[in-house]
Amino acid sequence: MRNKINEFIFRVDVTKEVGIGHLKRMINFGNQLNVKKKNITWFIKGSKEIAKSIFNKNNFKNIFYLKNDGKKKIVKFMQSKKINFIFFDLCHKKNMQKKFIQNYINYFKKNGFITVSFEHPNINTSSNISINPYMFKNKIVRKRGKVKLSGHKYFIFSKKISNYLKKRKKIRKDPSNILISLGGTDPKNIAQKLIKLILSLKLNIKLKVLMAFNTKVKHFFKKK
């Protein structure tokens, strides 16, 4: 009998193409759960290098890296540890094709586990609890034993960002400093294109750029 209600499995992908947003969201979520970090076990598919660089700043220890989707391995682990709950953050472009996510989550449900998933507006799964943290009107829908949470209320930020958002901020019409960040990865090199555009305007401003893992911006500045 599976009966550990205070232990959880987190399943997430992280690559240069997928980015680090899914992993960061799950880390923020894990930090806000009222459980010990040792009670969260991670199964990650993708770049071990990127994942480790992020986990080094946190205290999560139970981390396994997958060479494939790993569903059989995870089910076997959950059965051996008597763990009930599994959380998914897998809604990126590749996984949204050919109903991969729907079939993947169904596999765990058929094995008797309780599933919770962060989802994309264009995807509907059979998760026991699905979360759509986007700019919708906040609402909760309960239907056929499932719960769907939608809206900006369900964005999950780090404590530092959450505290900052509570402060009153003054927006300047003519800023002298601009910070550019396009996430943890930039596979399409958008940052460099944006910087070129801003520099071409010859404005009297200072630019600060947060570098992504695979950005080419650093090489752009070296050539200048």
| Residues 27 and 58: beta-carbon distance below 8 Å | yes
Judged against a pLDDT cut of 80, whether residue 197 lies above it is answered with yes
Q: What is the pLDDT of residue 7?
A: 94
Burial tier of 54 (Cβ tally within 10 Å: 0-12, 13-18, 19+)? middle
Q: Looking at residues 114-126, what average pLDDT do you find?
A: 88
| Residues 28 and 105: beta-carbon distance below 8 Å | no
pLDDT digits (tens, 9 = 90+) for 37-94: 999 999 999 999 999 988 988 889 899 999 999 999 999 999 999 999 999 999 988 8
Q: What is the pLDDT of residue 88?
A: 97
Q: What tokens does 116 get?
A: 């919770």
Q: What is the pLDDT of residue 196?
A: 85
Q: Looking at residues 163-168, what average pLDDT do you find?
A: 80
- Tell which wins on pLDDT, 213 or 219: 213
| Residues 128 and 143: beta-carbon distance below 8 Å | no
Q: What is the pLDDT of residue 174?
A: 83
Strand partners of residue 114: 85
120: three-class secondary structure by DSSP: coil
CA distance 129 to 109: 12
Ramachandran region of residue 189, left (φ > 0), alpha (ψ -120 to 50) or beta? left
pLDDT digits (tens, 9 = 90+) for 3-48: 567 899 999 999 988 888 899 999 999 998 889 999 999 999 999 9
Lowest mean pLDDT among 97-106, 119-128, 141-150: 119-128
Q: What tokens does 189 get?
A: 């090199």
CA distance 135 to 141: 16
Q: What tokens does 14 get?
A: 């992280």
pLDDT digits (tens, 9 = 90+) for 169-182: 777 888 888 888 77
CA distance 133 to 7: 24
pLDDT category at 1 given cuts 50, 70, 90 is very low
pLDDT digits (tens, 9 = 90+) for 128-156: 999 999 888 899 999 988 999 999 899 99
Q: Which domains, and CATH codes, for the chain?
A: 4-159 (3.40.50.11190), 170-223 (no CATH)
